[in-house]
Chain A
């Protein structure tokens, strides 16, 4: 197992009280597996992602319980030294916002070279840093050649020019490609993609997705693709986790999830994908619940059309219904109705 998130609980202290944002999220990714994490805005997927990269601001956030095992080591217990050896080097992020995720006042070259040279350290020794361009020009030169190489790999037409450019001089799509190149520069084994390209127009986004898929396949790395768009997730992943209000509602291989969705929430999500056949769009009534005082039992129960009284008392656990297919819903738990 490459990544194993086990029973992760995250709370936020807010003015109204403690928001129980993640309520026992478990998620696993095998080597080279492409996994999608799908849910509405505010369902906690970006919190999961931030916790995983340890860039969650704490406080306000607090990891109450759970483990995040990456290659058998708990990311949450790591010292900064150990963390920096993993973050960026073995797990890399492709962020959502293309232009804003690059520093506006440094060239792409500066940013990529620094990353390639210094990634993996908690702090740079300023002596070494200053000396690098002076005596070891080679170091920066090699790094620059690497950067150029990575830019070529993400199909950037004029990589020399892009290296010399500042982010403002590049289009959004180009910046997104640069970000992918930066993430892949360290040859990570896990890539985390936070809806890259959502801010771009549809054609550019499609190109970015194709590129990402291609790179991931070629490098043979695992990817966690976080999105609110089930259609995109279907495109990008072999297996999908559906998240609702800080809990995993369902997980299944992509095809199976689409052919036989079990959780009412998944069914609703699939029904609300726009289709070319022109049938009427269905949505899910209601909205994500309040996290300070979430509904008792199943968090989806107030919006669920099949909810039975028992749903409002007992929290459903993820339970296998088929090979690799798990769902957290009482309706699919025969034992629950018998007992």
Chain B
């Protein structure tokens, strides 16, 4: 009952923020550029043609009416025509979004699966060489420009050594796995296409690693700090004094506490992954939404810009809600309403 209240309260902060975001992006995209119609038609079009298109696009209406119309369209599954692909932006997003979600989700899992153990190790080996190494990695990991390390790794691992493919999401000479969800990993697993799975994984390694590089460092540091904080807790002393086996204490009892404290950061980091996708997809020619977004930005394709931005906002909101659910699930104090988050 209380858990439901807690989740409802979280939704009540997420949903208005998302609506606010849609208005903000809409205003940015419509007000400042002035003439989307001119951009669409190119410099040769006559003034009348531009006026005609402005009217068709509804750009001559007051802004709030434009927004209401846009929302109506959204409820019909339309996000406006892309000037570049000449398709509805919703169709484009449906085509490109799975690639981006696959990349960011794999990167996030990688960051958690690598960052958390590293955090535990550096905490347990505090002030030993492992810990110093971890600190060094953390400081440089968050300072390295993603595009630069991406390019360097591409150059060395893919180009010079040929261990991994340089760009793209799948081998162009082979058919991609049967389209079921659009997530190649899931699709190839579901259709038991092991060759495709192998290829998908090979193509995923470099981009997801580059994307996860800095988050690994951040998760590692937070887990380390939380684990060290746990050592001072009364329950640890009590468990030690009453003979709880060491690995059970560290990897079950302390780690769950530390992980709960890390969850908030992981939620924030998903935003970092989504932003990083814009850079990483450009470097690795990953056929995802972020690369589509960058192209839309450069060609001033405003319907696409709004669509991509909202998709990013929505993905971020959903992940953060999932994190909230998980938070309540893992921490009884939240679930039972004894503690505010």
Contacts and interface: CB of A to CB of B under 8 A. Distances in A.
Interface of A: 53, 55, 80, 84, 87-89, 92-93, 95, 97, 100-107, 111, 114-115, 118-124, 126, 129, 166, 168-169, 179, 182-183, 186, 192
Contacts, number: 100
B246 interface: yes
Given A101-B237, A105-B331, A119 B257 contact: no
22 contacts: A84-B245, A88-B241, A95-B241, A97-B234, A100-B234, A100-B235, A103-B235, A104-B257, A105-B257, A105-B330, A105-B333, A106-B256, A107-B332, A119-B242, A119-B245, A122-B245, A124-B245, A129-B248, A168-B332, A168-B333, A168-B336, A168-B338
A124 B248 contact: yes
B246 A105 contact: no
Contact of A115 (B234, B243, B336): B243
Nearest to B247: A123
A106 B241 CA distance: 18
Given A55-B241, A102-B238, A105-B260, 14 more contacts: A87-B243, A92-B243, A97-B234, A100-B233, A100-B235, A103-B235, A104-B332, A114-B248, A119-B243, A123-B246, A124-B248, A166-B333, A168-B336, A169-B332
Most buried by B among A100, A103, A183, A186: A103
A53 B245 CA distance: 14
B243 A88 contact: yes
Nearest to B236: A103
A104 B333 contact: yes
B336 A166 contact: yes
Contacts of A80: 246
A101 B243 contact: no
A93 B242 contact: yes
B257 A103 contact: yes
Contacts of B245: 84, 118-119, 121-124
Contact of B244 (A53, A88, A179): A88
B235 A104 contact: yes
Interface in B238-263: 238-248, 252-253, 256-257, 260
B332 A166 contact: yes
A169 B330 CA distance: 16
A147 B331 CA distance: 23
Lowest 5 A-B CB distances belong to which pairs? Answer: A88-B243, A100-B234, A93-B241, A88-B242, A166-B332
Interface string B310-340: 0000000000000000000011110010110
A215 to B, nearest CB: 16
Contacts of B252: 114
B147 to A, nearest CB: 40
Given A100-B234, A103-B235, A119 B244 contact: yes
Nearest to B338: A168
A126 B244 CA distance: 14
A182 B235 CA distance: 12
B235 A87 contact: no
B237 A55 contact: yes
A122 to B, nearest CB: 6
A102 B242 CA distance: 12
Contacts of A53: 240-241
A179 B252 CA distance: 19
Contacts of B243: 84, 87-89, 92, 115, 119-120, 186
A276 B257 CA distance: 47
A99 to B, nearest CB: 8
A155 B218 CA distance: 47
B117 to A, nearest CB: 14
Nearest to B232: A57
A186 B336 CA distance: 31
B333 to A, nearest CB: 5
A87 B242 CA distance: 6
